[in-house]
Amino acid sequence: MFNKLKAKIENKKANIGIIGQGYVGLPLAVEFAKAGFKVTGFDTNEKRVSDINKGISYILDVPAKDVKDLVNSSRFKATTGTELLNKMDAIIICVPTPLRKTKEPDISYILSASDAIAANKRKGQLIILESTTYPGTTEEIILPKLESDGSKVGKDFFLAFSPERVDPGNPKYKTKNITKIVGGVTPNCTKLARLLYFQAIKEVIPVSSTRSAEMVKLLENTFRSVNIAMVNELALMCHKMGIDVWEIINAAKTKPFGFMPFYPGPGIGGHCIPLDPLYLSWKARQHGFEVRFIELADEINSSMPHYVMDKISSILNSKRKSLKGSNILIIGVTYKKDINDIRESPALEIVSHLIKKDANVYCHDPLAANFRIDGKKINTVKLTKENISISDLVVIITDHSDVDYKLIVDNARLIFDTRNALKDFKSSKNIIKL
């Protein structure tokens, strides 16, 4: 089984199935198809499947031309059905891993994908989990399902974990040139997983086990979460002391060693940094260990939207205006600059709060035509001189590149800049920083 699958991968004759066609799965599918493999994307979202098969890309980092060319060449297709999993030589799971309201891991999507594979599997397949999760998931959850019929890992099938490391909107690092980490249940599992990724990705590094590979991703994002929390706390302290935190960070980063710049903001968002450290925290508690840094970082980062809300009220009060009835223009609702992903965006919590306080809220985002707050659809507005000038306060939540900041500065009465987007307008008197 090992030699047969190895030969298929080396000759690019292996059929690759990728479950989940979101921000991780679609770019990965495109890279494997570009490398010469036949790739099938599996997704429960019928619109995504339809778009792929029409050659349409809904991910900004994936050019529509690439999808169209690959679909037309019959190297890439998508389906909502799971029966084709039986035809795949390698299956990669790229599904979401959210948190429950209790901040416990929700691996229901991983369970569903595993059940679909188990129901349609055959001998000689390589299965790889990419979804971020707690250490032990691959061997404790997926492996028993695949061995339930008497099959043996490393002999009848191969199982590995490789953490996704995409950075949506990053112009330099894409799926192809981000180093891959792989860890298999057995040495042969690791070898096959490494070989597969090496066909489409420049560098692939093996680690000793699936648990180690699972921990790598959690370390990466916990590192970011803790450092963002530290600089957020520093920003609040600098505000109390009358010091410009942005100036401090820019000066500190001139040191060529021993310092890495992180930046404060209105809160953290996306599917990784707000969630991944809490997966690690949950697993640590199961082993009787309290991760105090992680818990404190989550507390600080989660408090930033509330700080922004309080600051908005304070700014309006200083101008003898109440929050109720004030016109507030929010700039940017996605969680990160220059991407169209709204998941976990701090803007959602801030906008929801302002609406509940009876403020008149308008949102502009060049990458999001609409979004939902408490089940209600909210359409974004165009950035016009009129929309700016009628606003009592303009709040910059996400600093997209494609925003006319000069138009804002020239026409706004007051601006609350939570991202230092207006750093080039130092002489303006109507700008208040985080």
- List pLDDT tens digits, range 275-308: 899 999 999 999 999 999 999 999 999 999 999 9
Which entry of 94, 189, 238, 272 is annotated as an active-site residue?
Answer: 272
What is the C-alpha separation between 25 and 41, in angstroms, rounded?
Answer: 8
Asked whether the predicted pLDDT for residue 374 surpasses 90, the reply is no
Note whether 184 and 217 are within 8 A (CB). no
What is the C-alpha separation between 41 and 56, in angstroms, rounded?
Answer: 14
What is the C-alpha separation between 74 and 131, in angstroms, rounded?
Answer: 27
On whether both 187 and 254 belong to a single domain, the answer is: no
pTM, full prediction: 0.93
Does a structural domain hold residue 221? no
Does a structural domain hold residue 381? yes
Does a structural domain hold residue 287? yes
Q: How many independent structural domains does the chain possess?
A: 2
On whether both 293 and 380 belong to a single domain, the answer is: yes
Q: What is the mean pLDDT of residues 326-351?
A: 95
Does a structural domain hold residue 373? yes
What is the C-alpha separation between 363 and 387, in angstroms, rounded?
Answer: 10
Mean pLDDT of the chain: 96
Asked whether the predicted pLDDT for residue 156 surpasses 80, the reply is yes
| Banded model confidence at residue 426, pLDDT cuts 50, 70, 90 | confident
pLDDT tens digits for 126-145?
999 999 999 999 999 999 99
What is the C-alpha separation between 402 and 182, in angstroms, rounded?
Answer: 37
In this structure, how many other beta carbons lie within 10 angstroms of the beta carbon of residue 133? 23
The tokens describing 420, both together, are 């230092």
| Banded model confidence at residue 108, pLDDT cuts 50, 70, 90 | very high
Give the helix ranges, DSSP H, for 124-209.
Answer: 137, 143-146, 187-198
What is the C-alpha separation between 299 and 281, in angstroms, rounded?
Answer: 13
* The pLDDT value given to residue 169: 87
The CATH number that applies at residue 153 is 3.40.50.720
On whether both 188 and 68 belong to a single domain, the answer is: yes
Residue closest to 70 by CA, chosen among 80, 58, 62: 62
The tokens describing 80, both together, are 């909502």
* The pLDDT value given to residue 168: 87
Q: Which structural domain range is residue 385 located in?
A: 232-433
What is the C-alpha separation between 385 and 365, in angstroms, rounded?
Answer: 15
Residue 272 is among the residues annotated as catalytic for this protein? yes
Does a structural domain hold residue 220? no
Residue closest to 135 by CA, chosen among 20, 203, 212, 250: 212
pLDDT tens digits for 201-229?
999 999 999 999 999 999 999 999 999 99
Does a structural domain hold residue 265? yes
What percentage of the chain reaches a pLDDT higher than 70? 100
On whether both 8 and 93 belong to a single domain, the answer is: yes
On whether both 185 and 241 belong to a single domain, the answer is: no
Please say which residue of 166, 192, 208 terminates a domain: 208
